[in-house]
Structure 1
Amino acid sequence: MGARFPFSAVVGHDDLRLALLLNAVHPGIGGVLVRGEKGTAKSTVVRALAALLPELEVAAGCRFGCDPAAPADCPDGPHRGGVERRPARLVELPVGATEDRLVGSLDLERALTEGVRAYQPGLLAAAHRGVLYVDEVNLLHDHLVDLLLDAAAMGRAHVEREGVSVSHPASFLLVGTMNPEEGELRPQLLDRFGLTVSVRAARDVATRTEVIRRRLAYEADPEGFAARWAERDAELAGRIAAARATLPGVRLPDAEVRRIAAVCAAFEVDGMRADLVVARTAAAHAAWRGAAEVAEEDVEAAVRLALPHRKRRDPFDEPGLEEEQLADALRQGAEHAEEPDPDPEDDPDGGGDGPGGGGESTGESAQESTSDGPSPERPDGGGSGSGERTHAPAPAFRARLLQVPGVGEGAPGKRSRARARTGRVVRPSASDGGGLHLVGTLGAAAPHQAARGRSGPGLVLRGEDLRRSVREGKEGNLVLFVVDASGSMAARQRMSAVSGAVVSLLRDAYQRRDKVGVITFRGAAAEVALPPTGSVDAAAARLRALRTGGRTPLADGLLRARRVLESERVRDPRRRPLLVLLTDGRATATGAGGDPAADALRAAGLLAADGVAAVVVDCERGPVRLGMAARVAAALGGVCLRLEELSADQVAGVVRAARAA
C-alpha cells in the first residue's frame, strides 16, 4: 500500500485539523464528528492523522496493546513477555459491522471443539491507544454507536454475552464522518461527540487550484510526495508529543471556569457535558500553543468546536453557531470572568480536578442529554402572485405510529417489524441468524449422545449441532409523502393544519430512522419536491417553501409516486415503502381517461397491485363531507385516517399502516 496523503499537505480545513490535533493532545475530549458534503477530503484528513501520533510501547503478545508502564486490568495479563514498539493504529469500523465485530464475542469454534470459553477481541480492542475511524457514522446502527461512544467515554469495553464476561482497556481517539444529506444523528448521540466540525469545499479559485495540484502530484508519486512533506509532519508530531507532556501542568483559572460556565449557560445546552468538554478542549488548546494556563482565546476556540452540535434542539434546526449569538455569549462570559474570586473557605474541596484529570462523573453520568424537545416552527411569511400562497405550519405534535404490515429485512430503525441482528430472540436456526442459541444447540445435540458414544458427564458436540439466534427487531422504512397542494386544499386554516401534520410525521420519521421523500401535486402535474433521502431536515425545508393553488391532479400524483417507488425498489430492494397521502380526495385535473376521479382510482389500484402499504390522511373539513379520500384509500388497499387522528395524544393505541395481505 502506498504512502498516505500527508496531514500537513491538506489545503484549508483549519478547524478540522485543529479539532483532530487537540483530541490527539487530550483524548479525554471525546472525539470529533466531521460533517460535510461529499468530496471534501474528510476521510483523507482523518487517515493522515494516525501517522502523527507518537509510537507506542506495548506489552509483547498482548492482544489489547496494553502500556507496560501503566498495566491495566487486561484479560491477557499479567504481561511477562517484554516490550514491543509499534505505530499507533488507525482502525476503521465499516457501516455493515456487527456487534460481534465491534466488541468481540465467544470463539464458537473453540467453544464447540475444545469445550473452552475463549474470547475473540473485536475492533474496540484493536483501536486501543490509537484512532477508531467511523465513516458514515450516521448510517451506523444506533446501538453500535452507543457501544463505541460508551467505550470512548469510559476507556474500557465491557462484553457480557453468550457466557462471556470480559472487560478490557479501550482508550482511543474516536473520529466519525458523515454527509448530512444522508441523514442526521440523534441529538443524544451528537452530544456524546466532544467536538464537531462542518467542512465544505472552498469556493476560492486559488484554493481549489492548489487542491488539484497537490492531489495530482500525490497520485503521480505517493512516496515522493509524502517525502516532501515528511519534515512538516514530523514537526506536528513533535508538537503533539510536547503538548501531551505539558497538558497535566496547564492551569485552568477560576475566571476561565466562570467564563466557560457562563457561555454554556447562555447557549442553554443540556446537562454538564458541554461545560466539561469546553474545559478540556481549552486546556488542550493552551498546551498546543505552549501556554502554562488557559486564557480567553483558548476558551473561545473551544466553544467554536464544542457547542455547535449541542445548540441544536430540534432535528429541523440548522447546526452551527451564529456569530452574533456567539459574540453575545462571550460578552456574558467576560462579565462573569471579571467577578472576584470566591473565598477559598467556601470551597473546601479546592475546586475539583484539573482539566486533564478525572472528576467528570459529577454531571456527565447523572445529567445525560435526553431532550428531543421541539422548537417553535418557523413561519414562511409572504406569498406570490398567480393565486399562489404559502402557509405557516400549525404547531407540531407527537405522531401516532404508522407501520408496514408483515416482517421485513430492511435497514435497522424503529418503525416496522423486521428480522435483525438485535432484538428479541424468536427461534433458533441452523442456517441463518447471529450469535449462539445455547438451548437450541444443546437440544440439537442431545438426541445423538448415545450414537456418539457418550459415556460420562457433558455433551458430545459437533459442528452440525450449532444453532444461531434468529432475532426480531425494528426496521426503518421509506416514507413517501404525497401532499395535495391544490386549490381545494388552499384554505389557510386547512393547509396550515396539513403542513403541521407533515412536519409532525417528518419528526417521527427522523426519530424512527426512516428514509423520506416528498411529492406534491397541484395545477397540471405532480412534482418530486424531494427525492428519497435520509435527510429529514431537507424535507422540512422543502415543505416550508410549499406553495398552493390550482387544480388537483391526484392521478398524476399517485403515478409519480409509483415511479419513484419503482426506482427506489431497484436501488434498495430490502427497504419497504410506506405511502402517506394527504388529500381531501377531490380530483379535478383531467387525465388520459377524461374522468379525474376514475383516473385517480385506477392509479391507486396500480400501487395496491405493487404491494405498497398506504395511509390516506383525509384533510376534508366542514359539516358536509363527501368521503372521497376513503374511496382512494380503499383502492390503495390502505387505511384512511382523519387529520386529527394522526396525533398520538388524541388517539389511543397503535394503527397498522395497511391491511395484512
Structure 2
Amino acid sequence: MSPTPYPFTAVVGMAELRLGLLLNAVSPAIGGVLVRGEKGTAKSTAVRALSTLLPAVAVVPGCRFSCDPAAPDEGCPDGPHQPGGGVDRSARLVELPVGASEDRVVGALDMERALADGVTAYQPGLLAEAHRGILYVDEVNLLADHLVDVLLDAAAMGSSYVEREGVSIRHAARFLLVGTMNPEEGELRPQLLDRFGLTVEVAASREPEERVEVVRRRLAYDEDPAGFRARWAAEEEALRARIAAARALLPAVRLGDGALRQIAAVCAAFEVDGMRADIVTARTATALAAWAGRTEVAREDVRQAALLALPHRRRRNPFDAPGLDEEKLDEVLRRFADDDPEPEPEGPHDPDDPDGGGGDDGGGGPGGGAPERTPPADGRPSPEQSDSSLPGPRSEPGAADGAERPAERDGAGSEADAPPGAPVSGGEGPEQRAVGAGEPFRIRRLSVPGLGEGAAGRRSRARTRQGRTTGARLPSGPVSALHLPATVRAAAPHQVARGRSGAGLVIRRGDLREAVREGREGNLVLFVVDASGSMAARQRMGAVKGAVLSLLLDAYQRRDKVGLVSFRGAGAELSLPPTSSVDAAAARLERLPTGGRTPLAAGLLKAHEVLRVERMRDPARRPLLVVVTDGRATDGRGAGTRGRAAGSGAGEPLARARRAAGLLAAEQIASVVVDCESGPVRLGLAARLAQDLRGTAITLDELRADQVTALVREVRTVQRTRRAA
C-alpha cells in the first residue's frame, strides 16, 4: 500500500463501486464485496483508498491478533487478556497475494521448535493480521480453490481454525472482505460467488471529457501525492465522519415486516438458491437506511439492496451473464408494497441531497465515470464539489457495467456473427452462417495420464499441497506439512548417539520429513474443431457445438485453461489463445462459421504450434488435446492454397494429416478424438486419427457421463499399451 494512498473522494464516478464499499464499511456483516471489471478501472485504487476512511480500532497492547480490549477473545492464543487498557491504531488493509501459500494465509506452526523444544510456536497468518480491518484479494478468480475456501469460511464464521499434527488453534478473524477480478481471466465458481455479500460491475467511461478528468487528477496525484491528498482532506474527513455516524445509527434502524416481505418476494421471484440472499439483502437495506440517516427501511433501500446483492446469485451456469431485470424488480416491489406511506428516500437515493455521499465528483484512479462539475486543473476541489452526492440505483439495466453479453443461443446465428470480411471458401459448398450450439450436457471426465505437478485443479492426478498423503520426502525448504511417522523413524536410530536420557525424542533438522500429497491439477485443454463443409449441416454442427460447449463447462468446473483452434477452407486459425476465461471460449464457439474444405493437417499443425508455445510459458501445466471432427481430410497443404497438388493422389490430404498426428504423438500429448461422423455408413476415419495420435476415440453419444466407466477403462488400456510399446 502506498504511504500516501489516493483519496477515496477523488475517485471519478463509479458510484456503485463506492457505495458497495461504503455500505460494507458501515455494516461488515454484509459479507464483503466482489468488484468485477475490465483492467485499468481503478478497482484496486478505490479499495486501498477505503482503508484510510475506517475509524481507528482499539487493540490490546502486544496482542498479535488485535483483540478488542473492551471484549477480548477468550480463546485468543496470546490470551488471556484483562479488559481495559487498550491502545488505538488505524484499521489495516491486508493484501492477499495470488501466489500465497496456505501457511501464509492461516498461519504456520514452527515444527522444529514443537518437536525439539516441546513448545507450541504459532506464527499468525494474513487472516489474523486482517482481523478488524480489510482483507483485499486482487484477482480473486485466480486464487487456488482451497485458499478461497479457507478465506471465505473464515469470513463467514468470523474465526480461523488451524488443525495440524494434533495441534489445534483458533483465533478471531472478522474483516471486511473485498475481492476484485477481471472476468476476461476466468470466473469464480457459483458457490464461491454466493459467499460475497455484494457484487458490482465497473467499466471505464467512454466519454472523452470524463476520461480527461481521470487523467488530469491522476497526473496531479503522481506529481505531488501529499499535496493532492491535502487538497481533498476536508472531503475525506466529512466522509469519515459520515461512516462513523452511520455505524452508530445502524442498531436503531428498523426493518419492518413490509420491507421483509418485499425482500422475500424479490429473492423468490428471481429464484436465487438458499436463504443467504435474503439475509444479505436485508442487511444491505438496513445499512442503506443508516447511510441515509434514517431509522426506517424504505422501498428504495430494498430495491438498491437487491441490485447489489442478487445479480451474482442468479447465474444458472458459468456462461450466464450476471444481472437483474429491473422492470421485473420494480413490478415485484409494487405488488408487495406496504399500504402504509413510506419515508421519503434521501441520502444516496436523492441526487439533490446536499449532504450525501462522499464526493461523487471526486475522481482520479485509472478509470471511472463522470464528475458533475469539473474542478480546477490543479486537482483542487471547488466548494460545490464537496457537497456532491453518491447516486444510488442504476439508471438503466446493464448500463453501469458496459460488459459485452454472451451471444444468444437460440439456434442459427445471424450473418453478423461471422467475423467481418470472412472469405467464402470453395470446394465443399459456400460458407455457412454461424449455427447456435445445442443443449449442453454433463460429460464424463477426461484426464491426462500419469502424475503431474501443475496448478491445483480438478482434472488430472498431480502432486499438490492438498490431497491424500502418499509418502514422505526430505524438505527442500521450510516444513509446511510434517510427516510425523517418517520423522520419528528417521530420528529413532540416533537416540543413543545423541545422548537421549528422558522420555522425549532428540530431533535434528535432518530428521524432518514432509508429506508427499496427491490431489488434482488443472490442465490446458486445447480444442481443435472441424468447421469445414463436411460438418456444416445445421443439425449436425449444432450438436457438435453443444458437445464442445459441454466440454467447456467441464473445463470451467475443473479449473482448466482452454484454447480453441478451428480449421476450414484453406487453413487453420487460433480462434482463442489459451485462457482461463471459458466465457470467452463459449462466445467464440457460438460465432464460429462453417464451410469450405477440410484442412485437417493444418488444424493439427496449428495445435502443435500452440502447445509448443504454451509449454515454454508454463511447462508444469500438462495439455489435453480434444479434436472434434469426422476424420475427413480434403485439403492438407495449409493456408493460401486451393485444390490438390498436380499429380497427388486422393489420399494425400489424409497422409499429411497422419504425419501431423505423428508429430503430436511423438511428444506424448494426451489426445481424445470426438468422432462426429453420423449416418448408417461410417468410414471410421476419426478412430484411425485417434490411433495416429495414440489417443482415444469416442463418439458424441459416448461423451455423455453415463458411459464414464467404459471410457476410463479404454483410456487406461490405451495408455498401458502405449507405455509398453
Letter in 2 for 1:564: V
Q: Distance in 2 between matches of 1:616 and 1:529?
A: 19
Structure 1 partner of 2:575: 529
Q: Deviations over 1:263-314 (max 9, x none)?
A: 1111110111111101000100110110111101111111111111011111
| 1:495 alignment partner, one of 516, 522, 541 | 541
Residue 63 to residue 2, structure 1, CA distance change in 2 (3 Å): closer
Distance 1:53 1:159, change over 3 A: same
Which aligned pairs between 1:92-103 and structure 2 lie closer than 5 A?
92-103=95-106
How far did 1:202 drift? 0.8
Q: What secondary structure is seen at the aligned counterpart in 2 of 1:473?
A: strand
Question: Quick check: 1:427 aligned with 2:451?
Answer: no
CA–CA separation in structure 2 for the residues paired with 1:577 and 1:262: 47
**Alignment deviations for residues 163-209 of structure 1 (CA, whole Å, 9 cap, x no partner):** 22111111100000111111100000000100001111110111110
Q: Aligned to 1:644, what secondary structure does the other structure show?
A: coil
Letter of the 2:684 partner, please give it: G
The residue that corresponds to 2:376 in the other structure is none
Within 2, Cα distance between the matches of 1:459 and 1:246? 59
Partner of 1:66: 67
Q: Distance in 2 between matches of 1:492 and 1:267?
A: 34
Query: What amino acid is aligned across from residue 79 of structure 1 in structure 2?
Result: H
For 1:422, what is the secondary structure of its paired residue? strand
Where does residue 719 of structure 2 map in the other structure?
Answer: 659
- Quote the offset at 1:611 in angstroms: 2.5
**Mapping for residues 472-491 of structure 1, pairs under 5 Å:** 472-491=518-537
For residue 630 of structure 1, what is the aligned residue in structure 2? 687
Kept in 2: contact 1:487–1:549 (CA 8 A): yes
Paired residues of 2:600 and 2:636 also in contact (CA < 8 A): no
- Indicate the residue corresponding to 1:379 in structure 2: 410
User: Closer, same or farther in 2 for the Cα pair 1:376/1:647, shift >3 Å?
Assistant: farther
What does residue 459 of structure 1 align with?
505
Opposite residue 631 of structure 1, the aligned amino acid is: R
Query: How far apart, CA to CA, are the structure 2 residues paired with 1:554 and 1:278?
Result: 53
- Residues 342-381 of structure 1 show CA distances to partners (whole Å, capped at 9, x for unaligned) of xxxxxxxxxxxxxxxxxxxxxxxxxxxxxxxxx9982243
CA distance in structure 2 between the aligned counterparts of 1:463 and 1:653, rounded to whole angstroms: 49
Identify the range of structure 1 (20-29 vs 495-504) with the bigger mean alpha-carbon deviation: 495-504
Match of 2:673 among 589, 595, 616: 616
Deviations 1:73-113 (A, max 9, x none): 22222224932211100111111112111111222232133
Q: How does 1:384-403 map to 2 (within 5 A)?
A: 384=415, 386-403=430-447
Query: 1:253 touches 1:293 (CA, 8 Å); kept in 2?
Result: yes
Relative to 1, partners in 2 of residues 1:408 and 1:448: Cα closer, same or farther, differing over 3 Å? same
Instruction: Please say if residues 105 and 164 of structure 1, whose CA atoms lie closer than 8 Å, have aligned partners that are also in contact.
Output: no
Secondary structure class of the residue paired with 1:424:
strand
Please tell me whether the aligned partners of residues 2 and 222 of structure 1 are also in contact (alpha carbons under 8 angstroms). no
Identify the match of residue 225 of structure 1 among 216, 224, 228.
Answer: 228
Q: Alignment partner of 2:706: what SS? A: coil
**Aligned partner letter, 1:643:** L
Tell me the equivalent position of 1:364: none
User: d(CA) in 2 for partners of 1:387 and 1:477?
Assistant: 33
Partner residue in 1 for 2:699: 642
Q: CA RMSD in A?
A: 1.9
| Residues 448-500 of structure 1 deviation map (CA, whole Å, 9 limit, x = unaligned) | 00110112211111111111111111000010000001111112232122111
Once the 2 structures are TM-superposed, how far is the Cα of residue 622 of structure 1 from its aligned partner? 1.6
Q: Are the counterparts in 2 of residues 29 and 281 from structure 1 also a CA contact under 8 Å? A: yes
Q: Residue 262 of structure 1 contacts residue 329 of structure 1 at CA under 8 Å; is this kept in 2?
A: no
* Secondary structure at 1:616 match in 2: strand
SS at match of 2:137: strand
| Alignment counterpart, residue 109 of structure 1, candidates 108, 112, 115 | 112
**What's the counterpart of residue 172 of structure 2?**
169
For residues 563 and 604 of structure 2, the distance between their equivalents in structure 1, rounded to whole angstroms, comes to: 13
Q: After the TM superposition, which residues 75-474 of structure 1 pair with which residues of structure 2 at under 5 Å, given as runs? A: 75-80=77-82, 82-321=85-324, 325-338=325-338, 378-382=409-413, 384=415, 386-432=430-476, 434-474=480-520
Task: Tell me whether 203-212 or 430-439 shows the greater mean CA deviation.
Answer: 430-439
Supply the distance in 2 between the matched residues of 1:457 and 1:651 (Cα, whole angstroms).
Answer: 54
Give unpaired runs (5+ residues) of structure 1. 342-374
Task: Give deviations 1:596-635, integer Å, cap 9, x for gaps.
Answer: 1111111111112222211111111122211111221111
With 198-207 and 326-335 compared, the bigger mean Cα shift is at: 326-335
- Counterpart CA distance in 2 for 1:252 and 1:564 is 57
Q: 1:579 to 1:34 in 2, by over 3 A?
A: same
- 1:363 maps to none
Q: Shift of the alpha carbon at 1:651?
A: 4.2
Alpha-carbon separation, structure 1, partners of 2:566 and 2:551? 16
SS of the aligned residue for 1:57 comes to strand
Q: How many residues are paired up?
A: 625
2-structure distance, mates of 1:244, 1:72: 22
Contact residue 444 and residue 707 of structure 2 kept, 8 A? no
| Contact preservation (8 Å) 2:601, 2:653 | yes
Q: 8 Å contact 1:119–1:164 — kept in the other structure?
A: no
SS in structure 1 of the partner of residue 546 of structure 2: helix
- 2:531 is aligned with what amino acid? A
Is contact 1:152–1:171 with CA below 8 Å preserved after alignment?
Answer: yes
Instruction: Give the SS at the match of 2:163.
Output: strand
For 1:402, what is the secondary structure of its paired residue? Answer: coil
Q: Find the counterpart in structure 2 of residue 597 from structure 1.
A: 654
Question: 1:50 is matched with which residue?
Answer: 51
Contact map agreement 2:299 2:333 (CA 8 A) in 1: no
Superposition TM-score, scaled by structure 1 size: 0.92
Alpha-carbon distance in structure 2 between the residues aligned to 1:217 and 1:339: 52
Cα distance, 1:468–1:575 mapped onto 2, change above 3 Å: same
Q: Deviations along 1:94-138, whole A, 9 cap, x unmatched? A: 111121111112222321331112222111111000000011111
Contact 1:412 1:476 in 2 (8 A): yes
CA distance in 1, matches of 2:408, 2:467: 35
Q: Name the CA distance, whole Å, in 1 between partners of 2:71 and 2:116.
A: 36
User: 1:614, 1:638 within 8 Å by CA — same for their partners in 2?
Assistant: yes
Distance 1:290 1:340, change over 3 A: closer
Corresponding position of 1:557? 603
Q: Give structure 2 stretches of 5+ with no counterpart.
A: 342-405, 416-423, 425-429, 639-644
CA distance in 2, matches of 1:437, 1:101: 19
CA–CA distance in 2 between the matches of 1:11 and 1:304? 21
Contact (CA 8 Å) 1:377, 1:393: kept in 2 or not? no
Equivalent position SS for 2:705: coil
| More off after superposition, 471-480 vs 431-440 | 431-440
Map of 2:394 onto structure 1: none
Tell me, yes or no, if the aligned pair for 1:263 and 1:330 is still in contact at 8 Å: no
Paired with 1:383 and 1:263, the residues of 2 have a C-alpha distance of 35
TM-score (normalised: structure 2): 0.84
SS at match of 1:649: helix
